[in-house]
């Protein structure tokens, strides 16, 4: 996934369009969305890193209307879950990538995206990609934004904006398994020296510290997604030579172990951090439901990547200019070997926005916004 330098000028010219998808001029600030996480919600931060994990090459973004179908650094064919949620909650601007040149001034009051492809809870996660923003670094960057908001609004109004009008979205953890603990060869030493339980305990401990740090920076409304069924992605199915209706057992087992402890952490934080509300998104069960019953949701496959190469599920080589690409992108649950299509993201986002406690609790995102 090498950088294609010819897109740099195109990206610069697209920023005006990407920063706004509504009629708002940014002066009437409503809610803000501050997004942390990995490639599931990265909106272009990795474009500005010397990294092997990039999505700023065609045909990524082919259905992303604000860019005219040009790649933006989103790891899907259209909008991410973060984009869709922002639109539905009435935000007139997409959360701008922190590393983008237009992530300053009025833009920061609409929200900023700190997510990074390959990033994880642990700082060592994703080292195979050379560079990426870990959760610790993402929070360091939010600290910079936080100070900028103080300067713009004054301390009192800034605090009100962060505490009452801002939602903090965290989508992280999958890479800590796929590109750390389970990584072939590189992780063998770690797996010998640390049990799965020990590694998961370290993840939870680190994440607790990170979320507490955001709370200390005045974050109060949180949405925290658990790790999805990572054993069911086309990459895992392909390299393990599984049938379409099978999933790899170990990654899913580890995700479930982590998710159980994450749910306990959410309850603990809600009890111990006054004034905060941590919303738990059961992404694992939600995505598994879509994969298992894909035809019910209008998909023709939940196993084959729309864009990719390698094996019967196109699940080995990431999406790029030489990839085969399906013509019916809205009929595939997965865009590439790792990431959902925009059509799947829409279904997931709808449940997070308006669903009941089956998948999101104690409140959904529309209710969280209005608290």
Instruction: Spot the catalytic one: 161, 280, 332, 339.
Output: 339
**Three-state secondary structure string covering the chain:** CCCCHHHHHHHHHHHHHHCCCCCCCCCCCCCEEEEEECCCCCCCHHHHCCCCCCCCCCCCCCCCHHHCCCCCCCCCCCCCHHHHHHHHCCCCCCCEECCCCCCCHHHHHCCEECCCCCCCCCCCCCHHHCCCCCHHHHHHHHHHHHHHHHHHHCHHHHHHHHHHCEEEEEECCHHHHHHHHCCCCCCHHHHHHCCHHHHHHHHHHHHHHHHHHHHHCCCCEEEEECCCCHHHCHHHHHHCCCCCCCCCHHHHHHHHHHHHHHHHHHHHHHHHCCCCEEEEECHHHHHHHHHHCHHHHCCCECCCCCEEECCCCCCCECCCCCCEECCCHHHECECCCCCECHHHHHHHHHHHHHCCCCCEECCCHHHHHHC
Has 156 been annotated as catalytic? no
Please give the backbone phi and psi of residue 148, each rounded to the nearest 5 degrees, phi first: -65, -40
Tell me how far apart the alpha carbons of residues 43 and 114 are, in angstroms, rounded to a whole number: 8
**Closest Cα partner for 44 from 21, 24, 14, 22?**
14
Instruction: Provide CB contacts within 8 A for 57, sequence distance 6+.
Output: 1, 4, 7, 71, 319, 320, 321
Q: CB atoms < 10 A from the CB of 245, how many?
A: 11
**Catalytic residue check, 339:** yes
Catalytic residue selected from 39, 67, 103, 303: 39
Active-site residue (options: 161, 303, 336, 341): 336
* Rounded CA separation 254/260 (Å): 10
| Residues 306, 53, 69, 9, Cα dihedral to 10° | -160
For residue 93, indicate whether it is catalytic: no
Give the active site residues.
39, 336, 339
């Amino acid at each position: 996934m090498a950088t294609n330098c010819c897109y740099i000028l195109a990206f610069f010219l697209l920023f005006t369009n990407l920063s706004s998808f509504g009629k708002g001029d940014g002066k009437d600030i409503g809610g803000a969305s501050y997004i942390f996480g990995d490639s599931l919600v990265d909106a272009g931060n990795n474009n500005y890193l010397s990294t092997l994990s990039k999505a700023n090459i065609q045909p990524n973004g082919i259905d992303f209307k604000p860019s005219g179908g040009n790649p933006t650094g989103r790891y899907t064919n259209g909008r991410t879950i973060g984009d869709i949620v922002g639109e539905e909650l009435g935000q007139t601007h997409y959360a701008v990538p922190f590393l983008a040149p237009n992530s300053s001034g009025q833009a920061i009051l609409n929200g900023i995206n700190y997510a990074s492809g390959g990033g994880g809870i642990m700082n060592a996660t994703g080292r195979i990609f050379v560079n990426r923003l870990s959760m610790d670094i993402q929070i360091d960057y939010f600290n910079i934004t936080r100070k900028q908001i103080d300067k713009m609004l004054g301390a009192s109004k800034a605090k009100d904006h962060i505490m009452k009008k801002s939602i903090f979205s965290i989508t992280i953890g999958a890479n800590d398994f796929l590109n750390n603990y389970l990584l072939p060869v590189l992780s063998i030493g770690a797996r010998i020296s640390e049990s799965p339980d020990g590694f998961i305990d370290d993840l939870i401990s680190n994440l607790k510290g990170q979320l507490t740090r955001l709370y200390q920076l005045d974050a109060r409304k949180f949405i925290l997604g658990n790790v999805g069924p990572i054993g069911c992605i086309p990459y895992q199915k392909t390299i393990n030579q599984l049938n379409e209706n099978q999933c790899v057992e170990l990654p899913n087992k580890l995700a479930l172990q982590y998710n159980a402890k994450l749910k306990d952490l959410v309850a603990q934080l809600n009890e111990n951090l006054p004034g905060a509300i941590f919303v738990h998104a059961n992404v694992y069960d939600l995505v598994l439901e879509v994969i298992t019953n894909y035809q019910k949701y209008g998909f023709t496959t939940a196993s084959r990547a729309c864009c990719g190469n390698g094996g019967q599920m196109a699940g080995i080589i990431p999406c790029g200019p030489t990839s085969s690409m399906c013509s019916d992108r809205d009929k595939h649950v997965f865009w590439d070997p790792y990431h959902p299509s925009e059509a799947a993201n829409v279904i997931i986002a709808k449940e997070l926005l308006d669903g009941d406690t089956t998948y999101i609790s104690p409140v959904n995102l529309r209710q969280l916004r209005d608290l």
